[in-house]
Amino acid sequence: MQLDDLVPGVRVSGVLPGDVSIIAVHPYGDSAVEVTYKDGDGEVGQQILYRADEAKLGLAAASGVTFEGDGTAFRLAAEALRIKLAGQHDTMLAITTSDLEPLPHQIKAVYGELLPRVPLRFLLADDPGAGKTIMAGLYIKELALRGDLARCLIVTPGGLVEQWQDELYEKLGMRFELLTTDLIGATPAGEQVFTAHPLLITRMDQLARNDDLLADLERTDWDLVVVDEAHRMSAHYYGNELKTTRRYELGRLLGRVARHFLLMTGTPHAGKEEDFQTFMALLDPDRYEGRFRRDEHATNPGDLMCRRVKEELLTFEGRPIFPERRAYTVPYQLSPLEHELYEAVTRYVRTEMNRADQLRQTGEGRRGNTVGFALTVLQRRLASSSEASLRSLERRQQRLELRLREMQEHAATLPDDRRIEERLGTDAVEDLDDALDEFGADELEELEEQVVDAATAARTAEELRHEIAVVGELVRLARSVRHSGTDKKWTELRDLLLSGEVRDEATGALRKIIVFTEPQHPELPRRPDQGAARPDRGCRRDPWWYPAPGASCRAGPLQPGPRVRRPGRHRCGR
């Protein structure tokens, strides 16, 4: 590069170690020039250059935007940046990017109660059916879109984990993993399952009863922890001593490892203010420290809690979301044979329940709970239909006879009994309902089948022979009812379905009808002159399916009809 080529605006190399921009040039004859320049740091300087310097001078490489890049890649990067910053301009971005239509109370809860609280310590206690799962999902997604959430743990009863996973994915597009034994086993050696999986759903008792998982959990931290059915984390005062449960201790631990902590329940208050205050200590242990004293402690947790009952929930048009509910009981008189069977089974259940209580009193709490649960299921099936009762009694008789043969051969407690008792996992009868809630629908059905067929309070072969004889007599009575040609429950149901009470008074159209029955293999009521109803003629149990337009009701077994899924986005009531 020659001295004559130096003009204002040119970027030159060789004047300094870095490139400079020429601001002005003043020549000194033909052999020298004085240049004024600006270096890369913006500093202005001057220097005299001679012909001998031309060898080291050069035109600097072009810099800045050249518009020669990949346009598709640039557009993708720009869109990613737009989404990242969208939360600063669209205050309800989680709604506009999800496949749902939230209701007014859900929007108010998420954007009026949850998001403004940083950090969050809150109890969402709306009535069941208000859509608390959707509210929590919108809150999770909104935090993620705003860059405030990377790690989220959801703790829920075992029967709800799959529902949470499905709703978060289908309606909000968020993929959470379930904490299972397989997931724990697949975690690489030396790495914790909680650190390897930042979006996780886990069963409440799976954590509460596993000391190893609790130890791992204590070494982690989470942007948000959500606890569903949080009222199960209970504790009680006995005198001046607080007796906590493993679930309550889990709640305390979750509060320590969470930056945002959200509890959810439809039943926050069981009528005892002292227990409620102890529960609220999970959110604010300083405010609710110590045993509740009415004259000293505040009873209004308004800044920590939001509760709305169904009657307060309205649509955008101001109409009630939940229509008025009117419940009627349709009584019917059992036939003499049905009444005899009902009384006989009731006596059997009452006798065996007393024996189950004796087991608990002698230290066999788990076995007593197993027997009590089996008898409860048996009596429920008696109330379902004579067909269901007969099948259950026949299976129980067969299983007890097999058990008698095994007892005579082995003279010991059978492994099946121990496995069933371990699955229930509690010695206290008051904890049995909560233990059963930890099972999914399929698991609970499988457990019921195992328990109702096999569980017994008999301790000796002689006691077992006596129980087999009693069950055999019940089977005889149930068969008599089955073959009598009379099923009063079906008769009443048929008359109700054919009456005008199931039609709309204004239009005459058939109202929507739901029949609740046993899952998967229902023993449905049937007409006495026809064969037993097939399972595929049962009620559709998927809550998202509705009758096809024009569906009608007729006498006889329920027939499988066409199913239609309602189009459009999900409404967010439950």
150 pLDDT more than 80: yes
Using 50, 70 and 90 to split pLDDT, how confident is the model at 87?
low
Amino acid identity for residue 177 in this structure? E
What's residue 240's pLDDT?
81
Tell me the C-alpha distance between 401 and 469, whole Å. 10
pLDDT of 520 over the 80 cut: no
**Three-state DSSP class for residue 352:** helix
Q: Average pLDDT of 317-337?
A: 84
Apex 167 CA angle, 164 and 170, nearest 5:
145
User: What is the DSSP-derived secondary structure letter of residue 52?
Assistant: G
Contacts of 553 (CB under 8 A, 6+ apart): 497, 498, 502, 510, 513
Task: Report the pLDDT value the prediction gives residue 526, as an integer from 0 to 100.
Answer: 42
Model confidence at 495, pLDDT cuts 50, 70, 90, reads confident
Fold of 81-312: Rossmann fold (3.40.50)
How does residue 163 score in pLDDT terms, banded at 50, 70 and 90? very high
Instruction: Collapse the DSSP code of 39 into the 3-class scheme (helix H, G, I; strand E, B; otherwise coil) and give the result.
Output: coil
Closest CA to 337 of 556, 538, 528: 528
What is the pLDDT averaged over residues 556-564?
Answer: 34
- What's the whole-number mean pLDDT along residues 340-346? 86
Q: What is the mean pLDDT of residues 523-539?
A: 38
Q: Could you read off the pLDDT of 34-56 as tens digits, one per residue?
A: 989 888 888 899 988 888 888 88
**Sign of the torsion angle spanned by Cα atoms 115, 120, 122, 127:** positive
Of the candidates 311, 298, 301, which has an alpha carbon nearest to the alpha carbon of residue 268?
301
Which among 278, 318, 336, 332 has a CA at the least distance from the CA of 492?
332
DSSP state of 130: S
Question: Which one has a higher pLDDT value, 554 or 167?
Answer: 167
pLDDT in tens, 96-140: 889 999 999 999 999 999 999 999 999 999 999 999 999 999 999
pLDDT band at 296 (very low <50, low <70, confident <90, very high): low
The pLDDT confidence band at residue 508, using thresholds 50, 70 and 90, is confident
Report pLDDT for 362: 65
pLDDT band, residue 570 (cuts 50/70/90): very low
- Per the model's pLDDT, the better-predicted residue between 476 and 435 turns out to be 476
pLDDT at 522 over 50: no
Alpha-carbon torsion angle 51, 54, 60, 61, nearest 10: 150
State how beta strands 44-50 and 32-38 pair: antiparallel
Q: What is the CA radius of gyration of the chain?
A: 36
User: For residue 62, what are the CA distances in angstroms to 18, 35, 208, 441?
Assistant: 14, 20, 64, 68
Is the pLDDT at 545 greater than 50? The verdict is no
- The class (CATH top level) of 3-59 is mainly beta
Q: What percent of the chain has pLDDT over 90?
A: 32
Residue spans of the domains in the chain: they are: 3-59, 81-312, 336-482, 503-574
Q: Is the peptide bond before 27 cis (omega within 30 degrees of 0)?
A: no
Q: What is the DSSP letter of 314?
A: B
The answer to whether 95 and 107 are in contact (CB under 8 A) is yes
pLDDT per residue as tens digits for the range 232-242? 998 988 878 88
Lowest mean pLDDT among 91-105, 131-145, 146-160, 516-530: 516-530
Q: Which 8-state DSSP code applies to residue 113?
A: I
Same fold, 3-59 and 81-312: no
Residue 371 has pLDDT above 80, yes or no: no
- Contacts of residue 303, defined as CB under 8 A and 6 or more positions apart, other chains included, come to none
Taking the alpha carbons of 283, 289, 293, 297 in that order, is the dihedral positive or negative?
negative
State the residue for tokens 């709306």: 126
Q: Hey, what amino acid is at 522? A: P
> Strand ranges (DSSP E) for 158-304?
177-178, 199-203, 222-227, 235-238, 241-244, 258-264
pLDDT at 216: 95
pLDDT tens-place string over residues 183-202:
999 988 889 999 999 999 99
Question: Model-level pTM?
Answer: 0.61
pLDDT score recorded for residue 407: 75
